[in-house]
A and B are shown apart, each in its own frame.
Chain A
């Protein structure tokens, strides 16, 4: 109850609501009253929401239909698998590159060459090598998430103030101590920025990958609805992807704030 009351008094909350309302008003207005053919073909928000909440949806997808959740589960499974693979491989690699000059020279040229290849260009090769859509979609998502993770982790290690290394050396820290006491915590802010980007990139690649090579998933749902010209279902798929993307990045932010409580600025006590 108290939380609700506080929310009611929060200016930012009302601004956010106003933003949403404005968006829906413009959407509704442009569909209903702008006499242009493209707007006429766009489903209006009322139509989309009533389909989304319909126990007997016209085009077969709503929150009351099991298949809808299959799509969500498949997409979430693929995106998170790719994300965790990128986390498990990208963070150590980025730290290693920041820790050892030699390794950095060795790896960075290769990364610089591979990174500009657009993720979707990997799809055909991935399908042929990995024999099928499932692994190929995950692989492509992993790839984009991996590059974001490695590069940001590496940048994070590079950004650590050299005085911290010197201070650690003065205080008798070994090379291993420096890794755990300086490099990892010092790079953590950038690592989490990288993970946020990686998660976003994974969803981005996922939607595209599922359109090409999958039997389930929100990307597939959107593509199927496109083939059948079911515009409300397309919008439902898009909105669901947006919500899932928001939730996943909120979780990462939460974990980050938890691990980096030292960053939260508190007003200092004056000496």
Chain B
């Protein structure tokens, strides 16, 4: 593999050494979390005893076919949905359980599948929104930080006064990620943010996201149905089963960082892809067959 020498170090090793790349994100522990919709009636088990350990600053990708409960898990983490059993810990402290429903908050910010920048606010107003509403910063501080972040993420400060509709979808997504990072969240939750994009934009967005990850060192939970994307971006790719959703396979991605597109043809990458593909395809087939049965 053609990589410059000295860069072939996995990020977590850097953390242990206490270098400049130390993680500032939180560690998340998801323990035997289940979610049952309509427990009195139809009893749809969306998640069944799902357990995931996420180290501080780790980039985790949850992969699986649609209907595997990955979005449910993200919604529970974000506080949009409740869990039926199990617990979630953040930095060793109980965050959510059955008796402790979770509220959404700036420590776990979501970037949405279809984008949720406020169209009636300019890019700058959107990015400043979190710290201002939490009264965590003064307007001047927030503006300074927002401009700085925008500028460092590919010169987005030049569109600071534009409205989101004036931006391409790729720029909108980047601004939304920056809006999330402004809050210095413990965990950044990305819900298939590049789903509707063409391959070229997607590749560009991957590099932008990796760069933002390198800069911020936040814990990231990234949801996708795209296996290649998951392996290319993440430290750990978690393959989920279809309903009831649970963890089928955990793949440690030992590809060095920074990740570059050429890695997609490396042997390690292809090996990982094969391993994961077995799991995903099996699940996709099961989901498909179940769909056919339900149709019949």
**B-contacting residues of A (Cβ < 8 Å)?**
161, 163-164, 166-174, 177, 181-182, 185-186, 188, 260-263, 265-271
Contact of A166 among B78, B133, B174 (CB under 8 A): B78
Contact B167–A269 (Cβ < 8 Å): yes
Complex-state Cα separation, A267 to B166, whole angstroms: 6
B112 in contact with A167 (CB, 8 Å): yes
Are A173 and B166 within 8 A (Cβ)? no
A-B contacts, 5 listed (Cβ < 8 Å): A167-B110, A167-B112, A171-B179, A173-B129, A266-B165
Also in contact, A170 and B105, with CB within 8 A (given A186-B120, A268-B167): yes
A166–B118 contact, CB under 8 A?
Answer: no
Assembly CA distance A267 to B167 (angstroms): 8
Contact across chains for B110 and A172 when beta carbons are under 8 A apart: no
Q: When chains A and B are docked, how far (Å) is the Cα of A172 from the Cα of B136? A: 10
Which residues does chain B contribute within 8 Å of A168, judged by CB atoms?
Answer: 133
Cβ-defined contact, A269 with B130, below 8 A: no
Cβ contacts under 8 Å, B117 to chain A: 167
A255 → B minimal CB distance (Å): 16
B209 to chain A, nearest CB (A): 13
B interface residues, tally (CB under 8 Å): 41
Complex interface residues of chain B between 164 and 197 (CB less than 8 A to chain A): 164-168, 170-171, 174, 179-180, 183
Interface core residue of B80, B114, B179 (most chain A CB under 10 Å): B80
- CB pair B134–A170 under 8 Å, yes or no, is no
CA distance A182 to B120 in the complex (A): 9
- The interface residues of chain A lying within 8 Å CB-to-CB of B118 are 164, 167, 181-182, 185
Given contacts A172-B183, A269-B171, contact A261 B104 (CB under 8 A): no
Q: How many A-B residue pairs have CB under 8 A?
A: 98
Q: Which among A168, A171, A177, A267 has the greatest number of chain B C-beta atoms within 10 A?
A: A171
Does chain A have a CB within 8 A of B261? no
| Beta-carbon nearest neighbor of B104 in chain A | A169
Interface residues of B (CB under 8 A from A): 78-80, 103-106, 108-110, 112, 114-122, 129-130, 133-134, 154, 159, 162-168, 170-171, 174, 179-180, 183, 201, 204
Chain A interface, DSSP helix/strand/loop, else mixed: helix
With the chains together, A170 CA to B131 CA distance in Å?
11
- With a 10 A CB-CB cut-off, give which of B104, B120, B166 has the most chain A CB atoms: B120
Q: How far is the CA of A271 from the CA of B109 in the complex (A)?
A: 24
A262 surroundings in chain B (CB, below 8 A): 119-122, 163-165
Q: Which 9 residue pairs spanning A and B have beta carbons closest together?
A: A172-B134, A171-B130, A169-B104, A185-B120, A167-B116, A163-B116, A262-B163, A271-B170, A266-B166
Q: Which of B104, B106, B130, B174 has the most CB of A within 10 A?
A: B104
In the complex, which residues of chain B have a beta carbon less than 8 angstroms from the beta carbon of A185?
A: 118, 120
A216–B79 CA distance with the chains assembled, in angstroms: 61
**Complex formed: what's the CA distance from A198 to B14 in Å?**
65
**Complex: A168 Cα to B174 Cα, angstroms:** 18
Smallest CB–CB gap between B159 and chain A, Å? 7
Q: Chain A: which residue is nearest B105 at the CB level?
A: A172
Contact between A265 and B106 (Cβ–Cβ < 8 Å)?
Answer: no
Q: How far is the CA of A161 from the CA of B118 in the complex (A)?
A: 10
Given contacts A169-B79, A177-B133, 16 further A-B contacts (CB under 8 A): A166-B80, A167-B117, A169-B103, A170-B104, A170-B110, A171-B129, A171-B179, A181-B118, A188-B120, A262-B119, A262-B164, A266-B162, A268-B171, A269-B162, A269-B166, A271-B171
A261 near B163 (CB under 8 angstroms)?
A: yes
B54 to chain A, nearest CB (A): 18
Q: A163-B116, A269-B168 are in contact. Are A172 and B106 (CB under 8 A)?
A: yes
Q: Across the interface, do A173 and B133 meet the contact criterion of CB distance under 8 Å?
A: yes
CB distance from B113 to the nearest CB of A (A): 8
Contacts of B163 in A (CB 8 A): 261-262, 266
Task: Flag if B166 contacts A171 (CB, 8 Å).
Answer: no
Pair A161/B133 contact, Cβ less than 8 Å: no
Known: A163-B114, A262-B165, A269-B159. A170 touches B108 (CB 8 A): yes
